Amino acid sequence: MATFLYKLGRLAFRRRHFVALIWVALLTLAGVGAASAPPAGTTSFSIPGTEAQKAFDLLEQRFPGQSADGATARVVFKAPSGEKMTDAGNKATVEKTVDELADGSEVASVADPYTGKAVSKDGTIAYASVRYDVSGMELEESTKHALEDAAEQARDAGLTVEVGGDALQAVPETGATEIIGIAVAAVVLVITFGSLVAAGLPLLTALIGVGIGVSSITALASALELGSTTSILAMMIGLAVGIDYALFIVSRYRAELAEGREREDAAGRAVGTAGSAVVFAGLTVVIALVGLAVVNIPMLTKMGIAAAGTVAIAVLIALTLIPALLGYAGRRVKPAGAKGGLLGRRRRDGKDGAEKAGAEKAGAEKETGPAKANLGTRWASFVVRRPLAVLLLGVIGLGAAAIPASDLELGLPDDGSQPTSTTQRRAYDLLSEGFGPGFNGPLLVVVDAKGSDAPKDAFTQVSEEIKGLDGVVAVTPPAPNKGGDTATISVIPDSKPSSVQTEDLVHAIRDAGGDIKADTGAETLVTGSTAMNIDVSEKLNDALLPYLVLVVGLAFLLLIVVFRSILVPLKAALGFLLSVMAALGAVVAVFQWGWLSGLMGVEETGPVMSMMPIFMVGVVFGLAMDYEVFLVTRMREAYVHGEKPGQAVVTGFKHGARVVTAAAVIMMAVFAGFIGSSEAMVKMIGFGLAIAVLFDAFVVRMAIVPAVLALLGKKAWWLPKWLDRALPNVDVEGEGLRTADERGSGPDEDRELVRT
């Protein structure tokens, strides 16, 4: 592989005009597609294989024309102090508001509070339910404005009015902190390279890759039903890995220049060595993201595949566009450790340049003494001398950070998790005040009596059975369809939607449904947003272990091929588990317990989003393997070239620690930039990924990994002989490039690349 990538890098460097033109054309094509694509339509949230989804599908079949997936709104009214909603003036205001809402072109129905018994017992709070023909994301802006105007007019009449439901659902905003994250990345790159040109290359190529990826997602959003969160997550991951992959290529290029190589050869070697690591690191990220498909939640699968596509684009750009841009930059990208002078000059002859650089280096050392060891070298030397102490300190520290994860509670966000500044949250609180906490999460029971001899009796029996269960406040009378074979029953719990008590009630209704089916032949199903959230959480919990085995297993096999070792991939996987558990502990501490919640902009604590554990496992594993591959391949390279195991660890840190540190800081800055998002899910994922990179890069990869390798010594690189013979030689260390040097580069190299 190293030889192929070496030739690819030289080809891209030499034919840079052609390569740049291809990427500009792809960016333009994706941009035109995004601009001309129809707006994204509904993003159906289906959970195949769950009871809630089965009931939802049955409703669409047996109750046609009722827009089961249509947007809903609850306009909540509260009377002024000392008045009631039944007072003549307040009643007239509410009825006028209801009439105005009913005139909307997309409105399916509006329920009057006074005829629908939607007034609280104390008479101070009432609500009007509005149902629309289309989903919240498909509602026209004029419809949303009409809803807001109607509420505002009622406020002008003296009532407190708030609007809940998904009708006012908005596209999440990431906020200015995203720009701050990119700015931090730029500063880190300038410090790392000491050059604006060299620092600008990773940023430019990452933005081009993200532009192509996000534009492609936008162009396909309507056809594939991709939600707005999909593009945000693709942007988040694409920016992070795009900058990192380019950083590793440019850094290796400067190191090759410092060895005195001619620029085209240096570009080829950078792509052949660091590019090999980029390919395998990218593969682990893609495996982790595409592996989300095993959960069998379409929305999560689409998010994973879209993000994986953006990562694949980042890898291709790093391998082709970076060497092309290095060709354009010329001498403006200087060798590592040099800001000008002799080392910065172009060498016309690679061999003579190498000899000259060696002589200059020897002369410099003779005059000034050996170069001072960098921080990475000094740290690695310390770890090699004290491996057990460093290992224990790192493991104990991450173990302590993981303790809050034992209190992990899962759920999906609802209006109760919105900031108190939003009208949705204030409507939620008013409904809880007037009708009880369970009113915000009613359960919808669907009774399928098609196989029953007495459907009406079955409906009545189900209703009476539910009334006798603990935790039930109210049960509406059965509402049968036109065919009389199916009915719906609304159940109001006495606990809030995200509570354990509500979850227990859902299971109790389902258990009672088994006995009812045996007696009457009617099937009882529980659905609604609350039941759907419960089913999603359980489905994600059940899928976590198979997903972990699949992703870690595939990546383990991949890393065996890369490192030609059994213990190094095993150590990588165990280190990942430590970092992801510590990151989950931090998420629980901030978003569930409320530690530092004000600093993170978390206005309401509550259960951790159900998708968070499995999503973090997927993404963090891929990113963790990035640092593992980049850092340990340098150690493997030194060991293969004859260094002792301990010295190989130090050499790996000498060449890789500074770059890995910069890459981790950049990735943390990019992820942390999304903490400013208005979307609770994006905010939580941004924080979780940023803290996970902190733990994994600086504790696991920088401390635990060298400590374990120092303790293992030569055993770390052990591989059974039969397995060594069976595995393909991917040559990540670039050993085959010496042969390529001997062959040299001829005029037919382009054709040779095509044949390869």
Determine the 3-state secondary structure of 488 from DSSP.
Answer: strand
For residue 133, which phi and psi values (nearest 5 degrees)? -80, -20
Amino acid at 201: L
| Residue (of 284, 355, 275, 270) closest to 315 by Cα position | 275
CA distances for 223 relative to 72, 310, 485, angstroms: 24, 18, 35
| Residue (of 642, 635, 591, 581) closest to 613 by Cα position | 581
| Residue (of 181, 101, 117, 105) closest to 149 by Cα position | 101
Banded model confidence at residue 525, pLDDT cuts 50, 70, 90: very high
| Residue (of 372, 336, 374) closest to 260 by Cα position | 336
> What is the pLDDT at residue 476?
84
Determine the 3-state secondary structure of 262 from DSSP.
Answer: coil
pLDDT tens-place string over residues 345-388: 333 344 444 444 444 444 444 444 455 667 778 888 999 999 99
pLDDT tens-place string over residues 261-304: 899 999 998 898 888 888 888 888 888 888 888 888 888 888 88
Average pLDDT over residues 50-61: 86
Label the pairing between strands 410-411 and 472-475.
Answer: unpaired
For residue 281, which phi and psi values (nearest 5 degrees)? -65, -45
| Residue (of 683, 43, 622) closest to 304 by Cα position | 622
> What is the pLDDT at residue 337?
64
pLDDT tens-place string over residues 621-641: 777 777 787 788 878 878 877
Higher pLDDT, residue 680 or 527:
527
Banded model confidence at residue 27, pLDDT cuts 50, 70, 90: very high
Distance between start and end Cα atoms, the chain: 10
Average pLDDT over residues 579-605: 84
> What is the pLDDT at residue 170?
61
Q: What is the pTM of this model?
A: 0.76
pLDDT tens-place string over residues 704-720: 999 999 999 889 888 88
Contact 624, 572 (CB under 8 A): yes
Scanning the structure block, which residue is given the tokens 């989903």?
135
Range 715-721 contact pairs with CB under 8 angstroms and sequence separation of 24 or more: 715/567, 716/565, 716/567, 716/568, 716/571, 716/645, 717/563, 717/564, 717/565, 717/568, 717/636, 717/639, 717/645, 718/565, 718/566, 718/567, 719/560, 719/564, 719/565, 719/566, 720/566
Contact 570, 718 (CB under 8 A): no
CA distances for 53 relative to 444, 513, 725, angstroms: 12, 17, 50
H/E stretch holding 523? strand 523-527
pLDDT tens-place string over residues 535-572: 888 888 888 888 888 888 887 888 888 888 899 888 88
Label the pairing between strands 160-165 and 72-78.
Answer: antiparallel
